[in-house]
Structures are given as C-alpha cells and as structure tokens.
Amino acid sequence: MLDRRTLLLGGAALALSGCKIFDSATERDSRLRAVFASQEGLTKFAQRAMIGDRLAPEFTEADIRQGMRPNGSVDPASADYRRMANTGFADYRLTVTGMVETPVSLSLAELTAMPSRTQITRLDCVEGWSCIAKWRGVPLGSVLTLAKPKLTARYAVFHCFDARERSLSGEVFYYESIDLIDAYHPQTILAYAMNGAPLPVANGAPLRLRVERQLGYKMAKYVHTIDLVESFADIGLGKGSYWADRGYEWYAGI
C-alpha cells in the first residue's frame, strides 16, 4: 500500500512537471490560465491599497555604477525614425491626442524647456535583473495638464516608433498604457536625458516613459503619441500593452 502510494505520488509529481499537463496554461485563452490569472486583480488592488501615492525608492549618485542596460528594441528601423535620429530629433514631435480638450504637439525643445524632474531610480526587468540610472524628464502630469484630459479619459496609451514584429495586418508597434493614477504620479516622467546625457537611441531616444513603481516593460521607449482613452479594448489585442497582449500582467507592480 505504501509503495503504491509513493509510486502514485512520485508519478503524479513527475507527470505534473516533466509532462505537459500545465502547458495549456500558456495558451492565452485557456480556461486554466484564466483561473491562475484571477489573482491579477487582487494583486493590483492590494498594491494600490498599500502604496497610495508613495514614491518609489530613489538612490544616490554613488549607486550608479554602470551604464543602463538596454533591452527590447535598441535601434528602431522605420524610415521616419531613422531620418529623425540622423538629424538629432530636431523635427520630432510628441502628440497628445484622444479624449483631451486641446490636442497638443510638442517639440523636443519645448519639452526640455518645461520644468523637469531628475531622479535616480532602479529599473526592474520582468526577467529578474535590475539596473540603477539617473533620469531627467518632464512630469507626464504637466504634459497632460496642457492637453486637459476629458473626464471620461481613464488611460494614457503610449504609441512607439519601434516595430516588434510583422503580422498579416502589417507591422506591430510597441505600445503601453497606464491609468491616470500612475500618469499623474510625481515620478512618472517623460525622460529625455539619462545619466547626465541626452537619452541614447538604445535606451529610447528621444523620449521614453518612466513609471517607477512598475516593471521595465511598462516604460515605453521611442514614444511619439500619447492617446487618452476610456478603454483599450480596441487597441492591439485589447489587453492594453504589447506585452499584456502576450500574457504579461497589465499592472506590473510585481
């Protein structure tokens, strides 16, 4: 009886791991995945209750011991982007549109002329590594205030220059979204400088988002348009971000 039980338990353990019983959870629409993913709402609720409007930890100059590790896209290939990069982003414009009273278009010079915030923070990649760097940029809240979001606006969606893949319907560009709670957080900035120098192309030039209380993939690089929306169901595959469309959490606080 013991031997049979041990064998059954051992066999079940092997079957659960080595064999592929739980592999169906990798399919985005599987029922098994939906059960496991039910914790995402709870996680977001618990984190929001804990953190309120608190700031992410900031570090000192002494903590900057290396360059910022670039990840994801490092050199967008689109012709528009290449042309701008070759001219120092002189004709770059950030567009703020969607559910706003006054759509806004800002050049890099206009953005850098606005009051800025500098912060030394840690980027946590979903893969598990971290890297500390100094970021300078304009608070996203200030830019949104210029455009005056309508009361119905709930999310800021960031559209980017970097194509991540080619699908049947054309190139799939990186996009991300955050809600207005994170958008107006004082540390949420549109960064144009890193470690005391203009933002390098590998790190998202000319403008990238910093959302310090979430993981790195939320911090969209190569941003050209901010679209204020009530829902992101009609954008991309409907989950609110390139990576959320591919199974990662939309709220990436953990």
Partner 1 sequence: MPDGPLIYRQRLLTRITHWVWAISLFFLMLTGLQIFNAFPSLQLGKESGFGYDNAILKIGAVEVDGGLRGVTRIFGVEFDTTGMLGVSGGEARAFPEALTIPSKTSLATGRVIHFFFAWVLVLALGLWLVASAVNGHLGQLIPTVADLRALPRDIADHARLRLHRSGEYSVLQKLAYASVLFVALPLMILTGLSMSPGVNAAAPWLLDLFQGRQTARTIHFLTMLALLGFFAVHMAMILLAGPVNEMRSILTGWYRTGGDDHA
Please report, as ranges, the residues that interact with partner 1 according to CB under 8 A. Answer: 1-2, 5, 13-14, 16-20, 22-23, 25-26, 33, 35-40, 42-43, 47, 50-52, 54-57, 59, 63, 65-67, 69, 122, 124-132, 212-215, 243, 246-249, 253-254
| β-bridge mates for residue 105, sequence order | 95
- 25 vs 180 by CB, closer to partner 1: 25
CB neighbour list of residue 117: distance below 8 Å, 6 or more residues apart: 136, 137, 138, 139, 186, 187, 189
> Cβ–Cβ contacts within 10 Å for residue 209, how many?
24
Q: CA 158 to CA 90: how far, in whole Å?
A: 21
Q: H/E element holding 162?
A: strand 155-167
Within 20-172, where are the H helices?
31-37, 39-51, 79-86, 108-113, 140-147
CB of 227 to partner 1, least distance (A): 25
- 71 vs 97 by CB, closer to partner 1: 71
CB of 214 to partner 1, least distance (A): 6
CB of 51 to partner 1, least distance (A): 4
Label residue 247 left, alpha or beta by phi (over 0 means left) and psi (-120 to 50 means alpha).
left
> Cβ–Cβ contacts within 10 Å for residue 50, how many?
9
- 67 vs 196 by CB, closer to partner 1: 67
Pairing mode, if any, of strands 93-98 and 223-229?
parallel
CB of 127 to partner 1, least distance (A): 4
- 101 vs 127 by CB, closer to partner 1: 127
Q: H/E element holding 4?
A: helix 2-17
CB of 41 to partner 1, least distance (A): 11
- 146 vs 237 by CB, closer to partner 1: 237
- 60 vs 86 by CB, closer to partner 1: 60
CB of 208 to partner 1, least distance (A): 16
As given in the structure block, the two tokens for residue 16 are 């659960």
